[in-house]
Structures are given as structure tokens and as C-alpha cells.
Chain A
Amino acid sequence: MNRLRTLLASAVVGTLLAGPVIGTMAQDATPAADHSDIEIAYVLHGLNAFTERIKTGAEDAGRDYGVTVEVFGDASFDTPTHQAFFDAAMQRGFDGIAVIPLPGDQWITPIQQATDAGIPLVGANITALETALTAWVGQDEYNSGVILGGQMIDQLEKAGVTEGKVAVGICSAAATALQDRDHGLRKAFEGSNYEVLPTQEVLIPVPDNYGRWENVMAANPDAVAAVGLCSIDIPNLAQLKERTGGAWLVGGYDLDPPTLQAIKDGWAAVTVGQQEYLQGYLPVRALAEHLINGTPMVEGWLEGPTEVVTIDNVDAYVSRQTDNQVQYDYYQEYMDENFADLQASARPYDDLAHPGMPRATPTP
């Protein structure tokens, strides 16, 4: 009996002592083990509200995987400046680099140099098909235009408007990603009774963008809709519509808080989002998994499906886009469902070279 009591007592004590050890190990699993000696650079294409969410995604991934992440970007959106950041990242010996190559054809040499030096790379947001990149994260820009165009037609028909002119604005005429959006938008309107007007350049700085839209809509007083291809357009169009009492519908891109507010207030009809948080998180995650585990680098296209936001579902997006914790929690669940295994989730990289291909992108 005494031996049994001793045995039981030892078992209890042992369990009590083991508990904290097990708990500590469990805590070590989240946050991740320390891999801070692994350094990953993320070279953005600029600095604004949109890239800030990419940066947040990248930094969250860094924290989750215990690696050191440094994000580079300049508000100028100037290519030589960002190429200099990329060069500096190579010079400083970062173990992996994620990059937004704007524009893709000017990044052939820097990316080749990094590839030759054996530095693993992942591209995001802007395609660079002429470069040596073999992994890319982002949305199908062409298809996003098709989706947006389809949504605009739906909204116009709901409003009882079955024909008329649609004004289109592009904030940077030379950006190929925006051109792809434009082509997709026009594809959606093909065969309809709507006339999509030639695209006008409306610039990036807010006052200039507003002034340009003011002129475009003054030139087309009978337009039934205005579509902006950049994130700054919807807030300005919403203000313009409010001030002028315009009856035209407003559509555009991205889920910036002022854009979501414009939809909530009824000034804008629809916006499409490209899940830029994933464009920050997934490249860092891909690099971290490769560098930590020694597994082959992911190859292919990690597609972030285009999201559609209208008055019917805007509330669900408002908290996600304004609260980093809500955003983090949402995407952790999202990635568990859709990107549990990055390589298995990846589409062939060559799919990026064929705009207009039928897509499996789900429309919410």
C-alpha cells in the first residue's frame, strides 16, 4: 500500500512538474521559435495606405515565423529608388527578398543578379514575366476588371439604367497592372448597350485626382457611371458626386476605409479588393518556410481572389480593414482554409502570361 501511495504521489508530483514544461513548449509554438537570424527584405513599390496593409501582412508573417522582416518603400513610387532598396538588400545580405517590381520590365537585371547570387525571391502585386521570378502573389488584374465591370452592369441594371456612357479614369497611364484592369473592365462591357469612354489619366495626388475627375465628369454630363482603376478614385468620386448631385454610379478599387465609408453612405456602388494583406504575408511565409525548413522554394502563382464589396456586405469589411487584429484573425483562418500548403495552393506561374483565361476565382 505504501509503495502504491508513493507511486501515486510520484505520478501526481511528476504531472504537476511536467505541466509547466508542456505549457511552455505549447507557448513556444505560438509565437514561433526564434529564427531572427533569418532576415527577409520586402521591397514595396511605394508608400501609401494600400502598401501599408501589405507591410502589415509582411510584418505579421515575420512575427509568426520568428524571422526578421524589414520593409522598404518610398512615397515617390519611383522605380530607381526602389531598385536601390533592392540592391541595398542584396548588399546587406538578406536571406530572402520579396519584391513588388514596378514596372516588371525594368526589374530584369536586378532580379537576375539576385537569382544568380542564390537569393530566393518572391514577387507580388505587379507581374514581371520577363524576369527570373518563379513565384508570385497577387490577384488576376485582368479578371478583376472583368469582375468589376460585371458588378457595375448589375448595379446599373438594378438602378434601371440599361444604356449610357461609362467614364473610366486611370491614375497612372503607364502602369501595366492598371492597363490590365482597364482591358478586363472593357471586356465585361463588350456586347452591352453601355459605351465605355476612352480612359482618362486622373493622377495620384488627391487634389489633382479630384480636379481631373471634375473635368472628366464635366465633359460627360450624361455619363451613367464613373469607374476608377486606383484606390484613390472612389473617395474623390464620392465627394464629387455628393457636391454636384450627380446621378452616375461610382465603382472602383480597393478597400481603403474612405472607400468603404463611401459605399456605406451610398455614394459608391461597388469596389473590388485584391487582398493586399496576403500580398504581404504569403511572400514572407513562403521565404520563411523555405529558409527555416530547407524545403524547396514555392513556385507558381499564389492567387489572392478578388473580393467584391457593395452595400450588402460592406459592414463585414469595415472592421477587417480598420482593425489590425481583426484582419490578422480573419486571414489566419482564411489561410488555414485556402493556403494550408503553399505549393499545393499555387497555380502554374505561366497562367500569369495568359490574361483573359477562364479563371476559377470565386465571386463572393
Chain B
Amino acid sequence: MLCPLLAAGAASSADLNEAWLAIANSHPKDALRKLDESDPARAVQLARAVALMAQQSATDDNVRAAEKIFVELATGNDEPADEAAYLQARLYQLHYVQPDYAKAAELYQALAQRHPRSHWAQLGLVKLALLKLYVVPDTTAAGSDRLAPAEALLAQISDPLLQRDLNLQIGQAGVALKQPLARFLPHLVAADRVGGITATAREDLIVQIGVLSMRAGDWAQAKKYFERYLVEFPNNVRAYDVKLNLDDAIRHLAKRAGS
């Protein structure tokens, strides 16, 4: 069974691995050299399309060539199909010179309806939620609940890490969109509870929950997060300000206990 495929120039497993390594190391041309354009294997076609996306200079022609392959692959019923569908949406959101957010949203939605449990569909829901928060909102009427559409999508996501990431962004959007503090602070706390956020975002989140808790009058939660910050980042430049805020939270708690 293997011989006809090899005779037809099919990529071996090793070739495909090397192609993906080349793509991961930002050498898409090397990847394209290893993969035969006429090889019908879906995994090969997907790798080719991703390599086309990665080419410099990034032009709409390269993107269109990649999209053509994605459209064909997306009609299948396997992981390459879901990856292709997801990437097709990404092309419209990020890779075409002129983004088409409405089209991207439509594609994310379609993928989620077809294979709601697929990782790519769920990641697509995270991206869709961001679009709904900022660029293709369901409504912009004054006083409308701008977070609800993203929260509805959150409810469809089962992957805890993706839930975390969307919770974090709903929280940040709550600030940017001037939503009531009580609506979005719980999202930030939920994101923190999952853990695993790295770099700046993690340190910021701990301070943020502390400060926003103060603003919400939740002194106990504020105290908890400020204390945590001072344990984890005792020498960081914000420590001085965090300490003053902690003292403030403690004072408020004492006052409440005394009254």
C-alpha cells in the first residue's frame, strides 16, 4: 500500500516532520521544498498551506494561495479540516492586508457549530469573543451589556486554559468598555484561579485584582491579593505602592471589624 504512495512522491513521515520543524524555525521555503504540491495527503496539504502563509514577504497572493487549500481541507471531517477552517478565519482577521472581521466571525461561528469540542473550534470561539467585544459587537446601544455576547461564547468553551484566557480578556474589556466593576471583576478572579498566566500579564493580574477589589469595596479580597503580590514580587518596583494599598485595605477591614 505504501509503494504506490511513495512512487507517487508522497511525503514520508520523516519529511513531514522536517517540514513542520522548518516551519516552526521560520524557514517556510525549506518546508515547501520538502512537500510535493501534488501529494494528496491532507496532512501534507495542510503543512503546505501553513508554509505558504508563513512566506515573506507577506502578500495577499500568498494568503490567497493558502486559503484555497484551507477551503478544500475544511470540507473534511478530521483534525486537518478543523485546523484549516480555523486558519481560514485567521486569514480574514489578521493576514489579509484589509481585515474582514465579519467574515472571520462567520467562519469561527461555522467551525464551532460543526465541531464544538474541537480545540480549534474552541480557540476560534475565544477569537470570536474578542471580535464581538471590540469590532463586531452585537449591539452598541448606550447602556447595553457589552460583555454578555462574549460570556455566551465562554459558556461554550470547555478547555480550562481557553476559558482562563477568555475570562482574562472579558475582564480587560470590562475596563475598556466601561462596564460595571461587579460585572467584570469576577472574570479576572476566575482567570487567576486557573493559573499558568505568564510574564507581565500574571504580575499585572495580581495587582489588578487587588486594586479593583479595593474600588469595589472588597477589602478582604484586596488584602489577599496584595499580600500575595508582596510574597511573590517583594523587590519589584510596584511593591511600595502595593504595600501602601495593603495598609489601606487592612485599615478598612479593621474599621469594619470595629463598627
Are chains A and B native binding partners rather than an unrelated pairing? Answer: no
Q: Which B residues form the contact surface with A (CB < 8 A)? A: none
